[in-house]
Structure 1
Amino acid sequence: MYRARQPVFNNVPRLPLALALSFVAVFVAQSLFPQLTLLFYNVGAIVPALGFGQGDRILGGWSPYIFHVFLHGGLMHLVFNSMATLTFGAGTFRPFGSGIRGGTGFLLFFFFCSIAGAALQIAVAPDLRVPVIGASTGLSGILAAAGWADGGYRGMLRFALPWGAFNLLLALMGEFSPIPISWAGHLGGLIAGALTYPFFVAVFGSRRL
């Protein structure tokens, strides 16, 4: 079993760092050129009311499932997700090892969780017309994966259960929730990450869990 006992922000692998910087770059571009907002949202924002096909998009109905992770609703949203990418992403990445194979596996895993989160959000809120954006669908899967990398099955539960319970609480609170976050998107990504990370590492990784 590989146990990732690394200090926070110590020697962050390049790929999680590049992913976090891509979030920042898109946010800066949108801030400097507000006219790009409609374009970015057309390409990346999940609108559950449009169904699984996601309507008529410039890059096709598939694009929001991937590109919603690059859009953020404010500075704190961006900071939180970027920090999570650097911390949990680093631990998740290391069992994949260096090289193209490992990097491909890490990105496929991240976007698989992102797609799962987006799909669950659409399924549970088919009437919601508010755009859903942010990297936390994929990062919820990364959180569960970091637990796997840190301590196997028990490590995964230690990381995933508190986040899952928090989002279930938000779901139970419904419209009375004080935090307008995509609990279904988080749970979809979390479940996908918890169930599939060992498979991705087995296929693409250089170290055994």
Structure 2
Amino acid sequence: MKLSHVILKVEQLDKAVQEYRDKGFAVEYGKEKNPINALIYFSKGPYIELLDGSRMPGAAKVLMRLLGKGALVDRLQRLDTCGLGYCELAFENYETDLKREVAILQKHGIKSCGMPSRRIDTHGRDLRFRIVSPAALDVPFLMTYFSTDPKPVDFVHPNGIAGIDKIVYGTDPARFPLIKELCDDDRLELKAGNGIEVEFERRKG
């Protein structure tokens, strides 16, 4: 698997979109009507997803738990209660399912649950994918890559940033072997502790 994206928790989505546009990033909402997220894409490598929370009603979370999706609900709940800043990391593969990755989690004694997801973005692209959330919240969540590639080609943001050069992910060192087995992306650096740090790649010259 490769790095998929990092979630940036913001205070208010519309305000954050304008703030990051003012910083020279090209930012697009996840969908045209009633968007719940916004994206900062790069031509290659991981992207950034801006969220001000899951916006999932409590009743829906209860229903998901009843349907055996408790690990997903726990991750959404953490998103709703965590502080501002980078708060979640996702890995992606290029298959149609996540069976291999679920088997790796099971080998390491970690249960998980998953579900399909879909959205029509602001360009009319039908983006379909599957997600899996490990029950261990100190392990990144997993997804298949989008059915249609939404990333721009040969694009550099107006501020000169061409991509993400490195993501530092803090977790329990006991998780390092599992995470390295799941993800072989050389942009990923693991450290003991908590938190996520992002370093950008700027256009040369």
TM-score by length of 1: 0.31
TM-score by length of 2: 0.31
Return the structure number with greater strand share: 2
